[in-house]
Amino acid sequence: MANFEESLKQLETIIGKLERGDLPLEESVRLFEEGVQLSNACKADLEAAEGKVQILLKQKDGSRKAEAFPQSDERE
């Protein structure tokens, strides 16, 4: 299974090929479908990482406490 960086690089390559516009329709559709799968995999990886991010908050006594990073309400 490819990691996030590998999937993103593959997606960028596919986008570049599709943007050139010189591929046969059948190849364009195949690459588009592959791109959608890679995009979904990248999104899932980002969402999983987002759930693991924590921030350190300084307490009144000077110690630090880890808490979950607040998630944005602006999701699509």
For residue 76, pLDDT beyond 60: no
pLDDT the model gives residue 41: 95
Specify the higher pLDDT residue, 66 or 7: 7
Element containing residue 42 per DSSP (H, E): helix 25-52
Helix axes 4-20 and 25-52, enclosed angle (nearest 10) = 150
For residue 74, pLDDT beyond 60: no
For residue 73, pLDDT beyond 60: no
**Which tens digits make up the pLDDT trace of 14-70?**
999 999 999 999 999 999 999 999 999 999 999 888 777 666 666 778 777 777 666
- The number of C-alpha atoms within 13 Å of 66 and in the hemisphere containing its C-beta is 3
d(CA 31, CA 33): 5
Contact between 64 and 56 under an 8 Å Cβ cutoff? The reply is yes
